[in-house]
Structure 1
Amino acid sequence: MSELPNTPIRLLVVDDDPLVRGGLQAMLGGAAELEILGEATNGVEALKAVEALKPDVVLMDIRMPQMDGLTATQKLRARENPPEIIILTTLDTDDHVLRALRAGASGFLLKYTPPAEIVAAIKRVAAGEPILSPTVTRKLMNHISDDWQPNRQQIAKDQFAQLSTREQEVAKAIGEGKTNAQIAQQLFMSVPTVKAHITRILTKLDFNNRVQIALLAHDAQ
């Protein structure tokens, strides 16, 4: 995990609902830790805004006209030095959250989350810590039916087999939602050693963050 930035976290808000955008601006505009660079109303605008404004974090809605948040997330995360992306969702109606996480999003926030929790989540993501609890992971995996592909389990097993035994243990612990400190305690290693294993896993599998490691551990079962 990287250190929290000393300068304000540069934020872009992407949502087609003007009420949501206005609400987020009002809630987050007074936070000294954040600098809201601007807004976008769909994925096409988001791609242009990210290129022009260089935000650290993007709050990304899923369902939008012209280009949805899933497609925009995939395109942004494929860029060099991409921003961190937090998915804005209602959970009960958005079918593609898990696919967005697979594409490299750093987690999600329920719309209308209390301001203090949103600020805390943005700070965590900016510091390199994805926001996805074990409970929410299970809900998403149970909720989303159209994401499963017949060969996904075999692909995941093949990827998992590329890892050393110790890396597999770390990956499984990440899949259980454990923090670095909890993993270190469970596997009798130091936190820096855990971080080193995670870095090697990300490099080996060409992943963006530990959310993707968690999903791999789930798929490989």
Structure 2
Amino acid sequence: MFKVLLVEDNVDFRHSLNKSLMLCFPAMVIAESADGKDAMVKIDYFKPDLVFMDIKLPDENGLNLTKNIKAEHSDIAVIVMTANDAPEYYRAAYQAGATYFIDKGSVSMEKIPAIVEAILGSKVCH
């Protein structure tokens, strides 16, 4: 069973991402979190294979959360997302341990499944 955690405070974006993933990967189990505190709790008990992490969250910086996740669970892939495509965000995401970086303004929901498959390959259940 393949598990994904969506950490995103924008409920519309989070639900769109969830729907896009479920359409392509019906066997995937998806959990959602709107803030960093809840995300870290879910990381420990849900044990996702992949985390979609927004940079700007109401209570925490997604880059700090990414560092914490990778320090404690190096096997979890993290896709950092932001609405700001500034090069410094891109560099900071990879320095924090991100597996991939997504500019929410320039990537379509249709491309997300291909990104997931590229990162996780045969781990993804269809």
1:120 aligns with: 114
Q: Which has the higher helix share?
A: 1
Identity of aligned residues (%): 26
For 1:13, the aligned partner's letter is: L
For residues 85 and 110 of structure 2, what CA distance do their matches in structure 1 show? Answer: 23
2:47 aligns with: 54
SS at match of 1:114: coil
1:21 lines up with 2:14 in the alignment: yes
Task: Map 1:152-167; keep pairs closer than 5 Å.
Answer: none
- 2:64 aligns with one of 71, 74, 82: 71
For residues 34 and 114 of structure 1, what CA distance do their matches in structure 2 show? Answer: 22
SS at match of 1:115: coil
TM-superposed CA distance for 1:54, in Å, is 0.8
1:11 aligns with: 4
1:196 aligns with: none
Q: Is the 8 A contact 2:80 2:98 kept in 1?
A: yes
Q: Is the 8 A contact 2:20 2:113 kept in 1?
A: no
1:44 lines up with 2:51 in the alignment: no
- In structure 2, the gaps of 5 or more residues are none
Q: Is the 8 A contact 1:11 1:34 kept in 2?
A: no
1:98 lines up with 2:94 in the alignment: no
Change (3 A) 1:50 1:33: same
For 2:112, the aligned partner's letter is: I
For residues 36 and 50 of structure 2, what CA distance do their matches in structure 1 show? Answer: 15
- In structure 1, the gaps of 5 or more residues are 1-6, 129-221
TM-superposed CA distance for 1:67, in Å, is 1.1
Task: Map 1:110-189; keep pairs closer than 5 Å.
Answer: 110-111=103-104, 113-127=107-121
TM-score by length of 1: 0.49
TM-superposed CA distance for 1:36, in Å, is 3.7
TM-superposed CA distance for 1:26, in Å, is 1.9
Change (3 A) 1:64 1:80: closer
Give runs of ≥4 in structure 1 deviating > 6 Å: none
Cα-to-partner distance string for 1:155-181 (whole Å, 9 max, x where unaligned)? xxxxxxxxxxxxxxxxxxxxxxxxxxx
**Equivalent residues, number:** 121
For 1:100, the aligned partner's letter is: A
SS at match of 1:105: coil
TM-score by length of 2: 0.82
